[in-house]
Structure formats: structure tokens, C-alpha cells
Amino acid sequence: MRLYRLLPFIIIALWMVMALLGPLWTLEPNQIALPKILLSHDKEALLGYDDLGRPLWDRLVMGAQTSFFVALGVVTISLLFGTLIGATSGYLGGWFDHVVTRIIDVFLAFPGILLAIALAGILGPGVENVVIALAVVGWVGFARLSRAQVLAIKHRDHVQAAVALGIAPPLIIIRHLIPLIMAPLIVEATFGVASVVIAEAGLSFLGLGVQAPDASWGSMIRDGTRYLLVAPHMILVPGCALMLVVLAANLLGDQLRDRLDVRSKTNR
């Protein structure tokens, strides 16, 4: 049971190590070796080579960097803007809350990945545009959650005391409301990492994300689809990495939710 609980942390830690320490390693992700095209493995590359003879391990590390920094950027931007907008909307109420609610409803009326594909298609391919497209879609979940949480706690005694003392609404939101709703937002951010990783891979698979010669797990899977019968390792290597990271992020979110949920602890 302990190994089951530690496994998500281990996988996420390995992903972070590959992303952060990858530039310090001696890697040649774009080195072409024609004699090694589609080779499954050898002493120099245990994971094999792709259709241009490039080592899959080196490109897997480059893909880990891409997915990690895209996930970090998108979740950070979405968390900051979504939390501020949702908390302000829930606290102020009135016409501002009505407008924000209608905007959230409009975004929720469409599948998020379709909006991201449309925005990425308009902005053009590239990592920066992928971050912008996914952040424009991702803030909605944080705004909706923070608004609901603020509506539930804005009438508490300490908030009313702050109002009676004449503290400005922005300070009340930042100092007295947002710290109390951080637990569910952290859980939401953990699940958001998994969603962003798979969304980035999907956009890169469609050619809207990372462009050659840079690597992404999605673009690696796309390149491997043409050689599925003769070189299945080209899909299995990035596909398994993508599956493990997304699964680990979701399991980590479940564990954090169980730990931070006070009601479930009291019921036990």
C-alpha cells in the first residue's frame, strides 16, 4: 500500500528531474544516424531510434522538458487569474458576478480542447502560443471553484470583522479569503497538470504545438504512427511516458484531496 502511495510521487519526481536536469546532461536529440534508422535498441540507446536515427531517450527527455514547462506555465497562469477573478466575483456579487458567471458559462458550453485547438490554430504553432491557448481555456475551472468557495465563507465572522474595520475589498480577498480556499485549488491544480500534459501532447500531435526539430511526446507519437508495424517502440516509448505522467498526476490529486478534505477525516 505504501508503494502504491509513493509511486505517483516517484513518477512525478522523475519527470521533474528529466525536465530540470535534462539540459545539464550530454544529450543529442537531433543527432541523425542513418545506419540506425528504426533500430529498436543498442548499447548506446536502450530505447532505440526513430525514423531519422535519432535516439529516443534523448528526445524523450526533450519532450519531458516541453510538457513540464508548458504544464507549469499554463497551471500557474490559470491558477492566478482564475482564482483572482472567481474570488472577486464571489465576494463582490452584483452585476460583476453576473457578467463573470455568464462568461464562465460560455466557456463551459464548449469542450475545452476544441477551444484550445481553435486558439492554437489562430495564433499559430509554437510553445508560447500553446501556453496562451491552454491558459485562456484553463482559468475557467479555477474561477468557478474559487467563486463557489468564496460564496460559502464570505459571511464568516472574521470577514465581517475586517469589513467593519474598513479594510479595502482587495485586501479582504487576498488576505482573508484566498488563503482559506487554497486547499481545493491545489487539488484542482494537480488535476490541471494532467489535463495540460495530455492537451499539449494532443496539440503537438496535430502539428499545432512544438515544431521540428524540437521534441514533444505528442509529436513523437505522431511520427511513430507511420511505422507502427515495423517500429512499435517509436509509439510505445513516448506513449508510456505520457500515460505514466498523466496517471501519476491524477493519483497524486486523489491523494491530496483525501488528505486535505477535513470532512472525510472527521467521518472516519
Residue 55's DSSP bridge partners are 49
Residues in the chain with pLDDT values less than 50: 262, 264-268
Backbone dihedral angles phi then psi of residue 138, each to the nearest 5 degrees: -80, -20
- The whole-number pLDDT of residue 268 equals 44
- The whole-number pLDDT of residue 3 equals 67
Q: For 171-224, write each residue's pLDDT tens digit.
A: 999 988 999 999 899 999 999 999 999 999 999 998 888 888 888 999 999 999
Backbone dihedral angles phi then psi of residue 232, each to the nearest 5 degrees: -65, -20
Q: Are 129 and 120 in contact (CB under 8 A)?
A: yes
- The whole-number pLDDT of residue 42 equals 84
Q: Are 3 and 251 in contact (CB under 8 A)?
A: no
Q: Write down the pTM of the prediction.
A: 0.89
Cα(127)–Cα(162) distance, rounded to whole angstroms?
43
Q: Are 89 and 101 in contact (CB under 8 A)?
A: yes
Map residue 214 onto helix, strand or coil.
coil
Cα(48)–Cα(46) distance, rounded to whole angstroms?
6
- The whole-number pLDDT of residue 262 equals 47
- The whole-number pLDDT of residue 165 equals 87
Backbone dihedral angles phi then psi of residue 49, each to the nearest 5 degrees: -130, 160
Cα(217)–Cα(133) distance, rounded to whole angstroms?
18
- The whole-number pLDDT of residue 264 equals 47
In order of their start, the domains of the chain are 50-262 (1.10.3720.10)
- The whole-number pLDDT of residue 267 equals 46
Cα(171)–Cα(10) distance, rounded to whole angstroms?
39
Backbone dihedral angles phi then psi of residue 25, each to the nearest 5 degrees: -85, 155
Q: Are 16 and 71 in contact (CB under 8 A)?
A: no
* Per-residue cell: 39: 533500430
